[in-house]
Amino acid sequence: MVSGGEAPTGADAQHQRRLLLFESFARRKHEGYVKWAYSRLMAWDDAREAANVALFRIFGRWDTALASENLDAFCFKILKDAVIDVLRARDRRPLPVVALEETCRPVAGISRDEADQAALRLDVHQAIEKLPGRQRTCVFLRDILGSPISEIADITGLAASTVRSHLKAGRTALAAVLGEGRPAKGNP
């Protein structure tokens, strides 16, 4: 340890740089990690827990992460594992989206249009859950949570062009499942 306000040297300086780099990484990734975890857990508290656990594990393997071919992809895999662990710890799976039966009557004070919109949202969530993993991630983060493509690329470790490809494929699949004759429109 260096005393008297002197700058650290050698191993201390290298250690300080690694800590600062991790701190910067964690601040940049935390919100996106929470969003992605929420897409799988459907509970904000669980999502924050999974993101925090993932960042703690990444810190423990920080040198390995830095040496990996793709830092973002390496860390995203750790996040996925943390989400699985949260699910196991809670002894549950992602909350299923329950479909409304056609015989359900709207709750007092809710118009039929609002009930139809709720049913449509449930159908959309169910259709998204059936998409392949990367398409599901990209579509949920972009179209449900409103994340920009650059943030999705940053969270997942994918190139922005790959995110756009997954969005297009996912939206096309959703349009087919939801009965539309053309891909869903919207900003990529």
Please tell me the distance from the alpha carbon of residue 135 to that of residue 54, in angstroms, as a whole number: 22
Domain that holds residue 148: 112-177
Please determine, for residue 183, whether its predicted confidence score (pLDDT) is greater than 60: no
Identify whether residues 24 and 71 lie together within a single domain: yes
Identify whether residues 78 and 117 lie together within a single domain: no
Q: How confident is the model at residue 42 (pLDDT cuts 50, 70, 90)?
A: confident
Q: Flag whether 99 is in a domain.
A: no
Q: What is the pLDDT of residues 52-96, one digit of tens each?
A: 999 999 999 999 999 999 999 999 999 999 999 998 887 755 555
User: Structural domain tally of the chain?
Assistant: 2
What is the average pLDDT across 106-134?
A: 76
Q: Flag whether 29 is in a domain.
A: yes
Q: Flag whether 5 is in a domain.
A: no
102 or 116, greater pLDDT: 116
Identify whether residues 173 and 126 lie together within a single domain: yes
The model carries a pTM of 0.71
Q: Flag whether 95 is in a domain.
A: no
Q: Flag whether 105 is in a domain.
A: no
Identify whether residues 124 and 86 lie together within a single domain: no
Identify whether residues 66 and 125 lie together within a single domain: no
